[in-house]
Every structure is written in C-alpha cells, then in structure tokens.
Amino acid sequence: MILQTNIRAMKKTLVLITAAIGLSLAAQPALAAGDKPKPRSGGFSFEGPFGTFDQGQLQRGYKVYREVCAACHGMELMYFRTLAERGGPFYESGQASPAENRFVRALAAEAQIADIDTETGEPIMRDGIPADRFPSPYANATAAAAANGGAAPPDLSVMAKARSGGADYIYSLLTGYAEIPEGLQIRPGQYYNAYMPGDLTPFMPDGAKVPPGGFIAMPSVLFEGQVTYDDGTEATVDQVAKDVSAFIAWASDPRQVQRKQAGMGVMIFLFLFAGLTYVSYRRIWKGVAH
C-alpha cells in the first residue's frame, strides 16, 4: 500500500508540476478571432536545440539588410565588430579578434559615421571602424517618423525577439503582401499584410468574412533581382526574405548557438550528476525505513 501511495503521490506531483509549467507556457494573451495568423515556417537552420546558423545565409542576409532595409531601419545596438564574433557572418578562424577581422574592417570603412573633428570640434563624417555602431538612417526618432508619414520604422536590432514567431514571423510578413481582399477599405498610408496582427472587422462591410492579417505602414519592399548575391545564389523574393530574416534572428541574439551548445554540455553533466547523486542517496537511505 505504501508503494501504491507513493506512486499515486508521484503521479499527483507530476500532474501538478506539468500543469504549472503548462500554465506558464500557455500564458499568452488571448486572441480575438483573426488576431494573429500563424506564421509560415522559413525552414531555418538555427531552429531547435541543435540548430546552427548558416554563415553563407548570414552574409547574404547582411547584404540585404545593408542594401535594402538600412535605408529606413536602424540597428543601433549592433556594432560592426559583432559581425566577426564566433558564429557570425564574417567570423574567420585565424582572426586576432573580432575588431581586427579584415572583412569587418572593410565593411565598416564603407559606412560613413558622424563624428567630431578632434582638433576643431566641428561635426564631420568619417570612415567607420569596427568599434562603431551601425549608422542609423535618421538622426533621431522624430526625424524618422516625419520622413515616413508619422510612423517611425522600428529598429531591427532585436526584432526577432520583439515579435512572437521570431524569424518565421519576419519572413512571413515580408512575403505576406497578398491580394487586397474584396471590400476591404484601406486607409491611406497603410498596406494590407496577411501576417500583420490586427482586427480588420471595422474595415470590412457588415457580414463579410473578415480576412486574416492587418494594416502595416511599410509597403512591400522586396522584388526580384533587387540584390545580387556574391555567392551566386539566386535572389528570389522568397530567398531574400529568408536570408534577411535569418540575419535579423542572428543579430537579435548573436550567442544563441553557443548557448545551446553549452546547454547540451550542461544537460549531460547534470544527467550524470543526477545519476551519481541518486545512487548516493539510495545508498545512504538503504535499510532505513521511510
């Protein structure tokens, strides 16, 4: 009977703990009908506990960001030297340090950074160095909003963390500019996107089926042949969207792959440690009624 009680108690424990975790994981805000469509999968290589970034994809993604997105979107938390961190797009195994990586030096030098002349104190523009941040297209948030019809293009540094769905969401959004549904009243300066969260009920005629998605202030920016990849990959809209999403996912959390790998080691160690401790525990309690 003790054994039965124990098993019952253990089951109860497990049920309770699972419920607690289930609750905590399920604590997402409720969705009204048609609020947030499930994003399409971009088939990214870095998903899952064993995922890693494809360095080629990150390089292509950086090129897309620099040539297409950086015209409006800043990435103010990114530094050029971060591109050469281990696991990043331009990491080279022989490099002395990320700041001395030759690709990063060249890429940084392409950028013009606002600075102050060391002798006269006048504002100047100078070539970038690896220690510089990515330059922003606008001087400040007000200028950004003013130049974009009142809606400032958000900074992309941590965009994959700032949207549920992460890279899949960004990919879906970029390729989600679909046919405008019949009867949808579009507000000026807004564009319909099937993956943008929103509730279109007020903008459809009464009784009509409300399409998924919402309004976004950014028009569709990707088109065929927009970017020429250095590695020869064909730059279809789909490919470009995937590459830049992967790059943004990397930029949002550059150390995620190293962390997952460390985690594997930690789990293995803990598993062995648990085994040792369990045997020790059983040995100590052996023969002691409890």
For residues 149 and 146, what is the distance between their CA atoms, to the nearest angstrom?
Answer: 6
CB of 145 to other proteins, least distance (A): 11
CB of 29 to other proteins, least distance (A): 4
**DSSP labels for 80-123?**
GGGGGSTTSTT--TT-S-GGG-HHHHHHHHHSEEEEE-TTT--E
CB of 269 to other proteins, least distance (A): 7
CB of 176 to other proteins, least distance (A): 18
CB closer to other proteins out of 125 and 162 = 162
The neighbouring-strand residues paired with 113 are 126
CB closer to other proteins out of 28 and 185 = 28
CB closer to other proteins out of 100 and 182 = 100
CB of 237 to other proteins, least distance (A): 26
Strands 214-216 and 123-127: unpaired
Q: Which residue has the tokens 């250095």?
A: 230
CB closer to other proteins out of 29 and 43 = 29
Helices (H), the chain: 2-25, 55-67, 102-110, 141-146, 159-162, 166-174, 237-252, 256-285
CB of 14 to other proteins, least distance (A): 11
CB closer to other proteins out of 223 and 281 = 281
User: What are phi and psi for residue 146, nearest 5 degrees?
Assistant: -60, -35
CB of 288 to other proteins, least distance (A): 5
For residues 208 and 190, what is the distance between their CA atoms, to the nearest angstrom?
Answer: 21
H or E stretch including 214? strand 214-216
Q: Which residue has the tokens 């100590």?
A: 284
CB closer to other proteins out of 4 and 185 = 4
CB closer to other proteins out of 192 and 250 = 250
With beta carbons less than 8 A apart as the criterion, state whether 83 and 254 touch: no
Q: Which residue has the tokens 């990959």?
A: 233
